[in-house]
A = this chain, B = another copy of it.
Amino acid sequence: MSRLSFKEQVLRVREDAIIAAVNRLLADKGFDLMTVDEVAADVGIAKASLYKHFPSKEALAAAAMVRLLERALAMIDQLSAREGQRAVDRLMAVSRWALEMQLGGEMPTVPSQNSSLRAELLAHKTYLDLLMQASDRLGAWIVQAQADGDIDPALPPELVLYTIYARACDPVPAFLKAGGAFTDAQIVELVQRTCWNGLRPPTRA
């Protein structure tokens, strides 16, 4: 077995701490408003040391997004392990997870507009690979759920996939939270409901 040396362990722990800080800041203020100085201060090291670990601000964000996808895939694995669960229930668990992460301030978000970051992500092999893995596995569940009659078969699967992904950056939960009238659990329930059932009444002619 390959045992990590002490130095390598320290390195990994430090990089984990960096990614955790980046994750927090990305969730809090987004990529453009996050500064590398803040990241360094948050981790408690000098900025120049940060650049020994990651070559650019974009690389920092990419590392955080990779960690997010790794966690998403771990959750998908757990859901797959449960036998006898309907595909739609698994998908609803995924959208719920995204909503809970976002409401808890743990969901890093990157603007799809920023071109430098976008270019870096599209060139990041690991990121793209994990994203495709997640999309493939969710896509299979979507097709299954449509065959089960649990998702509208008239909807293109990619629309369903994007709609679930979009829960990660839905502004509605934050607005409801700012209103102060609901608990986090209630907000998740309400937004989840509008996502899957829509705004119209449950049953109608």
Contacts and interface: CB of A to CB of B under 8 A. Distances in A.
A31 B198 CA distance: 31
Given A33-B32, A171-B112, A199 B166 contact: no
A139 interface: no
Interface residues of A, number: 47
A199 B150 CA distance: 9
A107 to B, nearest CB: 13
A152 B195 contact: no
Candidate in A88, A195, A199 with the most chain B CB atoms within 10 angstroms: A199
A121 to B, nearest CB: 14
A159 B176 contact: yes
Contacts of A204: 149, 203
A197 B160 CA distance: 13
A196 B193 CA distance: 11
Interface in A117-156: 149-153, 155-156
5 contacts: A29-B113, A88-B200, A151-B201, A196-B198, A198-B198
Interface of A: 28-30, 32-33, 88, 111-114, 149-153, 155-156, 158-160, 162-163, 166, 169-172, 174-176, 179, 181-182, 190-191, 193-204
